Amino acid sequence: MGLKVTSMDDFLITATRSMRDYAVRVVSHLLKLPSFAELGERINGADLLSTDRFADGEMEVVVNASIRGKTVFLFTSCARNEAGIGVEEAKIELYHAVDALKRSQAERIIVLEPFISCSRSDRTTRRSSVGLWVHIKTLSSLGVNHIVTYQLHSDKSKSMLDPTICMIDDIPALTLLKRYLCDAYIQNLETLEKVVRPNWAFCSVDAGGEKIARGFANAFGAPLVVAHKQRDYSRINTIESINILSAEPVEGKVLWIVDDMVDTAGSVESLIRALEPLKPSEVNIIAVHALFSNPAVTRLGRLVAEGLLNRIMVTDTVYSSCAMPEKVPNLEVVPSAELSARIVRTMVSNASMSKMMRPFDASIYLKSPNLFNQ
């Protein structure tokens, strides 16, 4: 991956205002790992950056300590965040932060953006801008050496970056959710063999999401259901029809609808209503990024109230307040800070990232869960 830190004192973890608490949790997990405990607060740069706003609305980010020669891990979010900062302001603050770090002579800058909010703007459908290209081009031009994110919307997005200028690693955060399924609901090989494989099925939201759903089906040895969605591309977030494709009857199955994100929940609501006549015993949602843009909360709450949706399982790559479970019934949020700490450890020690990229196998994990924590 090209990063080599010669001393444990050569790196620092910091964040823009949007992820300061998250960065503190990452440091806390990192200090629990072997060979990092002695670093103490020397790597905690949560307060390294301060943001000033001028009367006319302009912004300036200031670095409050010497970082000359250090590798800086910068955590940031331009989606819903703990500081309540809007998308545009969060992006501008990120760009200013990178510029400030570069001008302060940071040796390397690694941006960890668990969810890249513009990741769906990855193609020209009309004479349109490409938001993801603008974002990563800006970061690399300002001097970012490496971008780490979780579950990009499209694999092809990684080809937008020139690896000789800036690297990108897209960590499959769906593995977090697969592990959580094992820990919370399966727990042993007998349940996997006698309950999960004959009674569960994993369903894609659309044909484009088949790869993600197939990954779950393969990981747990369960059937795959594919929803073929016909969109009306003249209107945003509009679906005309859904066809359900399955080699086995859906009736009586525990269905897990899998996607990389839930935005307005329009697609999942349409899919769940299309599945209702097929009489699954239970329908659940699994997604990495919980955007929950309006009217997602209303739609999900309505599905739960009608008995059509059982549980919603997401990660915290997009911030969820303590009040979110009250707004979205049966919501389960899987934390990702420990995974982020392992990524930092791997990069600092110049080790291979391949362990985090390998396919997940539930039967192997249930035999030796610590294997996936290495």
pLDDT at 365 over 50: yes
pLDDT tens digits for range 221-252: 999 999 887 655 455 555 556 788 887 889 99
The proportion of the chain whose per-residue pLDDT surpasses 70, expressed as a percent, equals 93
Query: Which of 20-24, 69-73, 310-314, 322-326 has the least mean pLDDT?
Result: 322-326
pLDDT band at 4 (very low <50, low <70, confident <90, very high): very low
| Chain position carrying tokens 């020139």 | 162
Whether residue 215 has pLDDT greater than 90? yes
Q: Cα–Cα distance between 235 and 163 in angstroms, integer?
A: 36
C-alpha distances (whole Å) from 77 to each of 14, 83, 150 are 13, 10, 12
In tens, the pLDDT along 199-213 reads 999 999 988 889 999
Residue 106 to residue 93: CA distance in whole angstroms: 18
- Is the Cα dihedral 374, 183, 171, 67 positive or negative? negative
Residue 163: per-residue pLDDT: 87
Domains of the chain, by residue range, sit at 8-172+338-357, 174-335
pTM score of the predicted model: 0.90
Q: Tens of pLDDT along 170-182?
A: 999 999 999 999 9
Residue bearing tokens 């992006």: 91
Residue type, 33: L
Query: What CATH architecture applies to the domain 8-172+338-357?
Result: 3-Layer(aba) Sandwich (3.40)
Sheet holding 108-112, edge to edge: 44-45, 11-15, 71-75, 108-112, 146-150, 167-171
Could you please state the CATH topology (level 3) that the domain comprising 174-335 is classified under.
Rossmann fold (3.40.50)
Same fold, 8-172+338-357 and 174-335: yes
